[in-house]
Chains A and B, each alone.
Chain A
Amino acid sequence: AQSVTQLGSHVSVSEGALVLLRCNYSSSVPPYLFWYVQYPNQGLQLLLKYTTGATLVKGINGFEAEFKKSETSFHLTKPSAHMSDAAEYFCAVSEDDKIIFGKGTRLHILP
């Protein structure tokens, strides 16, 4: 079975600083990988996804992620954090017809 590990349940960065949220996956087949964001009291919004092709994937709100097969990683980055980026972020992998989620990383933005 596939799985996802997100390193750090809470990450704090200063406004304007680099955001780096770490995700490692385990998969026996080429994975389809996703990052979702969840704002307080809301559902999940798709930030970006990797299926095939280019390993650097650009998403909404200035986020991007790079698929590194050799490291089994799919880390999420953003060059400059905004206060509005404060939310819960979930890395996920597709297995058959379902999505397996990590436990999430709560991103705090410091003024």
Chain B
Amino acid sequence: ETGVTQSPTHLIKTRGQQVTLRCSSQSGHNTVSWYQQALGQGPQFIFQYYREEENGRGNFPPRFSGLQFPNYSSELNVNALELDDSALYLCASRAGTSDFYTQYFGPGTRLTVL
């Protein structure tokens, strides 16, 4: 196990609702990234947070937003849910210095939008 935890494990929402997913990074890791993995696809980068600031974003609309807290835990918020938002959402953390490019993933949150 990587030490990255995510909650909840599963979630069912209806179209138009809002959802918040949570991630606790591995000890000593100050950078957190979020990825969306649609069924049968590889994960797609949503955004990254470093020291509570967003410092990189993929091709996702503004209704995908996030937060990072002083303890480096993070939240992913999605507003106005659409059916295509149904996916596995993965959180990954990495150290700020050594092993810079290696990201360690949590188990994911499975979101189903009906």
* Residues of A that sit less than 8 Å from B by CB: 32, 34, 36, 41-46, 49, 51, 90, 92, 94, 96-104
Q: Which of A97, A100, A101 contacts B48 (CB 8 A)?
A: A97
Q: Kindly count the residue-residue contacts between A and B in the assembled complex, taking CB atoms under 8 Å apart.
A: 59
Q: Closest 5 interchain pairs by CB? A: A101-B42, A44-B105, A43-B107, A98-B45, A94-B101
A96 vs B2: C-alpha distance in the bound complex, in angstroms? 22
Is the pair B56, A104 in contact by a Cβ cutoff of 8 Å? no
Q: Which of A94, A98, A99, A103 contacts B41 (CB 8 A)?
A: A103
* Residues of B that sit less than 8 Å from A by CB: 2, 4, 6, 31, 33, 35, 40-45, 48, 50, 55-56, 58, 90, 92, 101-108, 110
Given A43-B90, A44-B90, answer yes or no on A99-B45 (Cβ-Cβ < 8 Å): yes
A100 vs B92: C-alpha distance in the bound complex, in angstroms? 13
Chain A residue at minimal CB-CB distance from B33: A98
For the complex with contacts A98-B33, A104-B40, 14 further pairs of A-B residues with Cβ separation under 8 Å are: A34-B102, A36-B105, A43-B4, A43-B107, A43-B108, A49-B102, A51-B101, A92-B42, A97-B31, A98-B45, A98-B48, A98-B56, A99-B45, A103-B42
Which residues in B have their C-beta under 8 angstroms from that of A92?
42
Helix, strand, loop or mixed for chain A's interface?
strand
Which residues in B have their C-beta under 8 angstroms from that of A43?
2, 4, 6, 90, 105-108
Which residues in A have their C-beta under 8 angstroms from that of B103?
99
A9 CB, min distance to chain B CBs, angstroms: 8
Q: Could you show 22 A-B contacts with beta carbons less than 8 Å apart? A: A34-B102, A41-B110, A43-B2, A43-B108, A44-B90, A44-B105, A45-B105, A46-B102, A90-B43, A94-B101, A96-B56, A97-B31, A97-B33, A97-B55, A98-B33, A98-B58, A99-B33, A99-B45, A99-B103, A101-B43, A103-B41, A104-B40
A73 CB, min distance to chain B CBs, angstroms: 18
Is the pair A102, B42 in contact by a Cβ cutoff of 8 Å? yes
B3 CB, min distance to chain A CBs, angstroms: 12
Which residues in B have their C-beta under 8 angstroms from that of A98?
33, 45, 48, 56, 58
